[in-house]
């Protein structure tokens, strides 16, 4: 009986303990349920950061300097020699801001002391707003081996740029101009890509450009016998203002010269405004074997690792006709020159849309060179000229354009967006306006050797062109770089 009572008491104790456990569990479940119904307090910790305003600096632009020729000095066949001096026009807004012109050292040009050198244009810190300093240069040359008209804007020095243009096959000469306006040496890599792919040129890597100086490289020395080169310039240390001089000789007759500035960085959409076609003609886009320089064409390079499909739209700036479209398949790392077909003489906007990043520029010439000499047997100079028109970057709301000496300068404006834009521009105190329809373009005649202020140009693309008898040139109007933009710093 005692054993039965003991077992009964034990069972009661176990049952009580079980009920207690179940009760605690029930309380826990209830608490969890209540927690699910009652909002939890929120606490979000943001990483500490600080917005840093860079010290205000003066504006800086670099002009590439006079046109150069290889072999002018018979005692130094591989040395570059300037062939005359460039005319430089510069200015800023406000107009009374002082612009200082400082020549850079040009050790690769044996005539720099006589003909001049690249120029660094600078203003004092705070004297002008970002982007409100501009400079441009032009030069006409008539020599036995070099003749034509060239114009170029004075650009910012940057860490990376793409030069789309030139050639190194028979009769074509290219010079890569590397100017370092900074106070520290620049280590520069120059990579050349052509129609067969990347060119192996170890001597073009790790080039030292001393502070305040310019180096000149022969493109043919780096990449001979290229029909369609693209040059990719990168630098560490000092920043570099890069440009490419391209000249042509047909037989014994010089057939043009151009200074090619940097094109827009790789992107899936590129806009080339102000593409001037001086005379009727061209080659069908399907002609893969078109040779020479005497037809309108666009040069393209897919810069990524995948093929890129590009649609090339060509629309008359005057708005006449529906334009034409050329579809192009680009293989990665291979440069392609695409003829733009039969075009009437006029001005065009070229819009290119792709499914991957690429770079672009377009080429035109004034005609076919004539093989002739004057009665005394001397070379009469170029009977043609050529120009490379680069892709541009959308402008911010205001800009300043310097217009150097040259024939019939014109400002071309393209508005790729859907909304109409009214642009105001002021030259010599005379304010005017021009309306650009959405998706359209417009142009305005300018005075040579003038400085033009633009406003209301946010999102607009712009190019300045020159066109005349045996003269053709263009340069892009680019927005300022982000050097003075505030940055947010996150400590580690």
pLDDT 10s digits, 132-165: 999 999 999 998 889 999 999 999 999 999 999 9
The CA distances from residue 472 to 92, 169, 276, 385, in Å, are 26, 22, 8, 6
Query: What does the DSSP assignment read for 279-325?
Result: SSB---TT-TT--SSSS-EEEEEE-SSS-EEEEEEEEETT--S--EE
How far apart CA 142 and CA 459 sit, in angstroms, is 39
Question: Per the structure, how many domains does the chain have?
Answer: 1
Phi and psi, residue 65, nearest 5°: 95, -175
How far apart CA 433 and CA 443 sit, in angstroms, is 11
28 assigned to some structural domain: no
Q: Which two tokens stand for residue 300?
A: 């393209």
448 assigned to some structural domain: yes
Residue-number span of the structural domain to which 228 is assigned: 52-369+380-488
Q: pLDDT tens, 383-409?
A: 689 999 999 999 999 999 999 999 999
40 assigned to some structural domain: no
Peptide bond into 94 cis (omega under 30): yes
Q: What mean pLDDT is predicted for residues 90-111? A: 94
Q: Position of tokens 């076919």? A: 368
Query: What does the DSSP assignment read for 220-253?
Result: HHHSTT-SS-EEEEEEEES-BEEEEEEEEEETTE
65 assigned to some structural domain: yes
Strand partners, 371: none
CA trace torsion 18, 21, 26, 31 (10° rounding): 180
35 vs 460, higher pLDDT: 460
Question: What confidence tier does 52 reach under pLDDT thresholds 50, 70, 90?
Answer: low
Instruction: Work out the burial of residue 144: count CB atoms within 10 Å of its CB; fewer than 13 is exposed, 13-18 middle, 19 or more buried.
Output: middle
What does pTM read for this prediction?
A: 0.85
How far apart CA 134 and CA 379 sit, in angstroms, is 36
199 assigned to some structural domain: yes
38 assigned to some structural domain: no
Q: pLDDT tens, 183-233?
A: 999 999 999 999 999 999 999 999 999 999 999 999 999 999 999 999 999
How far apart CA 31 and CA 34 sit, in angstroms, is 5
What is the pLDDT at residue 47? 57
């Amino acid at each position: 009986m005692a054993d039965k009572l003991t077992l009964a008491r034990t069972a009661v104790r176990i049952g009580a303990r079980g009920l207690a456990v179940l009760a605690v569990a029930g309380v826990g479940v209830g608490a969890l349920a209540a927690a699910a119904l009652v909002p939890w307090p929120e606490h979000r910790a943001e990483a500490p950061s600080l917005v840093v305003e860079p010290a205000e600096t003066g504006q800086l632009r670099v002009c590439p300097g006079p046109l150069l020729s290889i072999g002018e000095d018979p005692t130094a066949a591989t040395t570059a020699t300037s062939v005359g001096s460039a005319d430089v026009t510069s200015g800023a807004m406000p107009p009374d801001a002082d612009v200082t012109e400082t020549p850079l050292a040009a050790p690769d040009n044996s005539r720099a002391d006589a003909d001049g050198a690249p120029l660094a244009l600078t203003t004092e810190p705070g004297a002008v707003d970002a982007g409100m300093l501009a400079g441009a240069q032009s030069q006409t040359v008539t020599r036995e081996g070099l003749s034509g008209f060239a114009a170029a804007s004075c650009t910012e020095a940057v860490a990376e740029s793409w030069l789309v243009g030139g050639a190194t096959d028979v009769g074509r000469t290219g010079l890569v101009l590397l100017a370092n306006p900074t106070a520290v040496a620049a280590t520069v890599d120059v990579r050349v890509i052509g129609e067969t792919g990347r060119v192996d040129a170890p001597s073009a890597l790790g080039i030292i450009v001393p502070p305040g100086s310019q180096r000149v490289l022969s493109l043919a020395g780096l990449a001979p016998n290229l029909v369609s080169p693209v040059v990719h310039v990168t630098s560490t240390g000092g920043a570099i203002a890069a440009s490419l001089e391209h000249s042509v000789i047909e037989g014994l007759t010089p057939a043009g010269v151009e200074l090619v500035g940097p094109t827009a960085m790789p992107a899936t959409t590129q806009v080339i405004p102000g593409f001037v076609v001086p005379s009727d003609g061209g080659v069908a886009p399907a002609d893969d074997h078109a040779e020479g320089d005497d037809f309108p064409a666009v040069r393209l390079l897919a810069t990524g690792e995948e093929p890129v499909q590009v649609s090339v739209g060509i629309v008359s700036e005057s708005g006449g006709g529906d334009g034409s479209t050329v579809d192009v398949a680009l293989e990665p790392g291979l440069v392609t020159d695409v003829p733009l077909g039969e075009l009437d003489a006029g001005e065009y906007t070229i819009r290119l849309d792709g499914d991957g990043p690429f770079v672009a520029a377009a080429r035109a010439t004034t005609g076919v060179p004539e093989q002739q000499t004057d009665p005394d047997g001397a070379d009469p100079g170029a009977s043609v000229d050529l120009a490379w028109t680069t892709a541009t970057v959308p402008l911010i709301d205001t800009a300043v354009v310097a217009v150097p000496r040259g024939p019939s300068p014109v400002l071309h404006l393209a508005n790729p967006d859907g909304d109409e834009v009214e642009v105001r521009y002021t030259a010599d105190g005379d304010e005017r306006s021009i309306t650009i329809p959405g998706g359209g373009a417009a142009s305005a005649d300018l005075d040579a050797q003038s400085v033009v202020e633009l406003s209301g140009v946010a999102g607009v693309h712009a190019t300045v062109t020159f066109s005349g008898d045996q003269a053709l040139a263009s340069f892009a109007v680019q927005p300022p770089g982000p050097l003075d933009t505030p940055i947010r710093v996150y400590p580690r």
